[in-house]
């Protein structure tokens, strides 16, 4: 419960934790940065593997030109989506991690090394 009482600098904190730093304002220790980078890279690797696997399956099923250009379009969408979603700026990283938890690309175990209050917030944001 102590965490709920920690003073934050923001006036945007939620009603449940009025003085808590918003995720955008989190301070990351060097060890947390290392853990965050490891989790981020792990999720990106899983995402790319999934797209790669699906691309191969789609390519193998193609029987006409229309489907070939659809594959091109789909690959472009995946590339732009991944470029957009995998944003390592610390200001958006909590939202990225919450989204990855929600989609199953990351588990809480993968985020080991982050402070318990951050994990609490991420868990809430993911649900």
**Residues contributing to the site for its own copies (CB under 8 A):** 48, 51-52, 55-56, 59-60, 62-65, 68-69, 71-72, 75-76, 79
Q: How far is CA 20 from CA 5, 9, 90, 117, in A?
A: 7, 8, 17, 10
12 vs 88, beta carbon nearer its own copies: 88
For residue 1, give the nearest of 17, 23, 12 by alpha carbon.
17
Q: In the bound complex, what is the minimum distance in angstroms from residue 58's beta carbon to its own copies?
A: 8
Q: Please give the Cα distance from 113 to 31 (Å, whole number).
A: 7
30 vs 73, beta carbon nearer its own copies: 73
The token pair at 66 is 């229309």
2 vs 72, beta carbon nearer its own copies: 72
2 vs 64, beta carbon nearer its own copies: 64
Q: In the bound complex, what is the minimum distance in angstroms from residue 10's beta carbon to its own copies?
A: 37
Q: In the bound complex, what is the minimum distance in angstroms from residue 103's beta carbon to its own copies?
A: 18
Q: How far is CA 69 from CA 66, 74, 81, 82, in A?
A: 5, 9, 18, 20
């Amino acid at each position: 419960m102590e965490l709920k009482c920690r003073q934050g600098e923001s006036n945007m904190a939620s009603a449940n934790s009025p003085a808590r730093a918003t995720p955008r304002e989190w301070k990351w220790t060097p060890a947390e940065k290392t853990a965050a980078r490891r989790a981020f890279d792990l999720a990106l690797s899983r995402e790319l593997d999934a797209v790669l696997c699906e691309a191969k399956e789609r390519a193998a099923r193609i029987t006409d030109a229309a489907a070939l250009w659809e594959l091109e379009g789909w690959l472009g969408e995946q590339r732009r989506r991944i470029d957009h979603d995998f944003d390592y700026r610390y200001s958006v990283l909590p939202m990225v991690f919450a989204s990855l938890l929600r989609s199953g690309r990351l588990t809480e175990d993968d985020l080991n090394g982050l402070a318990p209050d951050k994990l609490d917030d991420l868990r809430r944001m993911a649900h």
